[in-house]
Chain A
Amino acid sequence: MSTSPHHERSRIAPGATIPEQAGEVSRRSMLAGTVATTAVAAVGPIAGTAYAQGADPNSKQDMMAFLLLSAALTGVHVANLAPEFAPDKTDVLNSDPGVDPINVKNEYFAWINASDGPTFGKLLQIAKDHRQSASDIINGVNASDDTRFLARSIVLLWYLGSWYKPADLKSNSAPGAAAFIASQVVSAKAYTQGLVWQIAQTHPMGYSNLQFGYWSRDPDDPNDPGSRSNLGFITQTIP
């Protein structure tokens, strides 16, 4: 693959659209201090669950913690989980998670919070405490069963758009077990945003935004810095 100038991450777009930056992982330099009050605000947990110990869907910090947690667990860059994410240079937790047209992160946040608010809160705390290191987050998550299995459900949610209950994962977790585990598709949108397909350099079955004949050619490697489509996809480090 040839290197070409427009893949330099730090390059800023000249000319017309000002002051947009281009190609940067950090798309937006603006700091968003205000709370996101958007039409797609996250749905709160069901009444009756332990809201106080759960996550706050209106807190940008909690959302950022969720994104960092998710990036650490999935190995996929925050910028792909939240395409409008704008990092804060001093503390990543103060970053703006952003609002993108699809906004699947909000849907997932609400879903997980409604499934098990308290354990979700624990996971977010682990992410906040270890926000510089994906491996530290992973170690923290693996330290106890409740966080470990909820984390696995979260990974499967990002990867597949379906919810596999932590309890079901746990009861099938004997090493080398072979079993069918029931699941629920969270939504049509979630299915189309599943990450495993992109990781496999393809698209969800039934949802392709590619051109006729593409299958006759090699796919792009989303992780290849010389490749056309990349902003970096799989990552060891966060954010």
Chain B
Amino acid sequence: MRYSRLFAAGLTTAVVLVAMFDWSGPSSAQTQTAAAAAQVEPLGQPCIAMTDPFKGRMAGADLPPGLLPVGDDDKSAILKSGLPCQERVSPGGPEAIGLDNLQRGFDFYSWRTFIAMNSPADGSPIGQSQPDSPTRWEDMNNFKQLLDVMLPADMGPPKWPSDRAQMEAEKVRLMPPACRVRYKPGMMVVKMIEESYNEPFKTGPLIDQKGRYAIFDILMNRRMFDYISNNNLFSKKGQQSRANFGLAVDFPVGQNPDPAKGIAGDVGAFMLKVSWKILAPEEIKARNFHMVNALVSMPKSDDPKAPPPPCLQETLGLIGFHAVHKTASRPQWIWTSFEHVRNVPDKDEVAAGKFDGPYSFYDINCRDNCAKVNATPPRPWTPDPALQLKFRKNVEFKSQIVREIPLTNATKNMNTVFHSMLHGTVWENYMLLSTQWPSAFGCTSLHSQSFDAPAPKTDFLKQPDMTCSPAPTFLANSTLETYSQGDIPQASSSCIGCHGNAVSFQTGSNPKPGQVRLNQSDFTFMLEKAQ
């Protein structure tokens, strides 16, 4: 008997009925005015499985002829298909190689995910969205920021009510006082900690052409939140409690409906990591970024005697977007990364001198005066409250970033197709980098829900590789893994490779020889943020 505990009931295969409730939101962004209640389905319903209708091979240098424009029916179906609950992929298909067919399936699934997430929260179609239309993932009913979950002990357990008024009250309760005075409903509030400006494992901040810090944020959906909340994982004390000694953390999976097996279908666990740029007035005017009116609370000082940090009002522009989804067939999660098309050039473009700027994190015109490519900024890195998220008083330093691993042709072609469908919206300025997925099917399927395996559904004891051979082997976003790009095993950025090392503060591993007590945290570093 390997595991002494089955986690709380019914999260994975239970039929999930999500209540429809009032939502009073505007169709334009900046403030929320009382508006007519609209019945809008939250993200994740219904579960529509779909494969791509595009004809021909995308893995070559050129887009197959006749592929564009995408037919109206197909376009409509895709843009409205909603958030996939599970991938639908196959090694069979138009590509010459099985792996390419699978990758294409995942890339298509990623675009569907991106579109569903970024569709306007008011329910209108993405084709009608404005750059500043609040998106569905930004809506407090769909995703919650990590810092609103991993609360300090004196703030009590985190809450995620189903009533919007109560959700709003909880958001305000957790807001720093300096932000409360400036807050108006509808604003995003970003509370910064070190990881909000310093990339994972303290690899460094990212500084734009105006000398300002890029800002990072992490969010989870209700399924993840419920699991954390129900299992008391939001605090160190809870993680280390006796009740959790035998818990093998195992977030709920997404799954397509299967009436024959009595599976209703559910979206499962989703987590997001996003990166923002502080937009200058001319950038706000140019409307090339998805924009959010935000309050940004700067990081607290280490010095307990220091005054509370300032809360700044900024217009943030989306520059990077990771969406990570756990599904029944890929319990190692599926890792999707998007970024703005004008963040950085890739190294082939730099070598050829073929730029498509201006870029947010690369200066084409610096000539002999360029900062070293992909170098971290000079220290100190800690933002100075007096400078309000400017890195230095004057713009003495700007990050000079180049993408080390260019996009594949297949992904570029997929991007071209989707850009054509999103033409006229700000979303054609975002591109998919790739999707990383566990490719060794024999490995990934072991103990996954496909096989009616006993709990836990995800198997962390697999050897020799519990990451199940991620494809592609390496993946890095130029804004989120800026300084770990490369192709060196273990050292260079690989979503699954790195997240496989994530553990919680649970007590154990193996207090008695042979006794299995895991502290792995199911591919998320969220649990280590518990206080």
Contact = CB atoms under 8 A, between A and B. Distances in A.
B441 A27 contact: yes
Contacts of B469: 83, 100-102
Contacts of B489: 188-189, 192, 207
A213 B508 contact: yes
A231 B462 CA distance: 12
A21 B442 CA distance: 9
Given A99-B98, A222-B463, A18 B439 contact: no
B464 A228 contact: no
Interface string A26-65: 0110101010111100000000000000000000000000
A206 interface: yes
Interface string A5-24: 11000010111111111111
A101 B263 CA distance: 32
B288 interface: no
Given A101-B472, A188-B488, A213 B519 contact: yes
Nearest to A33: B96
Interface in B448-504: 450-454, 459-467, 469-473, 488-490, 497, 500-501, 503
Contact of B97 (A19, A38, A83, A203): A38
A38 B256 CA distance: 32
A219 B328 CA distance: 26
Contact of A13 (B49, B86, B329, B439): B329
Contacts of A15: 255-256, 258, 261, 263, 328, 450
Interface string B419-460: 000000000000000000001111101110011111000011
A178 to B, nearest CB: 31
Which size class do B's interface residues fall under? 35 or more
Contacts of A98: 97-99
Contacts of B519: 212-213
B88 interface: yes
B91 interface: yes
Nearest to A36: B97
Given A17-B89, A39-B408, A209 B439 contact: no
Interface stretch (B141-149, B202-210, B367-375, B510-518): B510-518
Interface string B387-431: 000000000000000000000100000000000000000000000
B520 A16 contact: no
Contacts of A201: 463
Chain A interface SS verdict (over half): loop
Contacts of B293: none
Nearest to A86: B98
A229 interface: yes
Contacts of B447: 6, 228
Contacts of A13: 329, 445, 450-451
27 contacts: A6-B446, A6-B452, A13-B451, A14-B261, A15-B256, A15-B261, A16-B329, A17-B86, A19-B92, A27-B91, A34-B96, A83-B439, A98-B97, A100-B99, A100-B471, A101-B471, A102-B469, A102-B473, A188-B489, A201-B463, A206-B490, A212-B509, A212-B519, A213-B509, A217-B514, A219-B463, A220-B462
- Which 5 pairs from chain A and chain B are nearest by CB? A213-B509, A6-B451, A101-B471, A216-B510, A209-B465
A84 interface: yes
A211 interface: yes
Contacts of B503: 211-212
Interface in A180-227: 188-189, 192, 197-198, 201-203, 206-207, 209-214, 216-220, 222
A17 B470 contact: no
B94 to A, nearest CB: 12
A211 B90 contact: no
B461 A211 contact: yes
Interface string B226-264: 000000000000000000000000000001101001010
A160 to B, nearest CB: 16
B505 to A, nearest CB: 12
B199 interface: no
A83 B473 CA distance: 14
Nearest to A193: B489
Contacts of B439: 83, 100-101
Contacts of A217: 461, 510, 514, 516
B451 A210 contact: no
B454 to A, nearest CB: 8
A36 B89 CA distance: 20
Most-contacted residue by chain A among B99, B440, B460 (CB, 10 A): B99
B339 interface: no
Given A16-B328, A189-B489, A192-B489, A99 B90 contact: no
A211 B458 CA distance: 13
A203 B464 contact: yes
B130 to A, nearest CB: 35
Given A212-B503, A216-B509, 12 more contacts: A15-B263, A20-B90, A39-B408, A83-B440, A101-B473, A207-B489, A216-B513, A217-B514, A222-B463, A228-B447, A229-B446, A229-B462
B87 interface: yes
A16 B258 contact: yes
Contacts of B255: 15-16
A73 B90 CA distance: 33
A43 to B, nearest CB: 16
A64 B96 CA distance: 17
B510 A228 contact: no
A63 B451 CA distance: 33
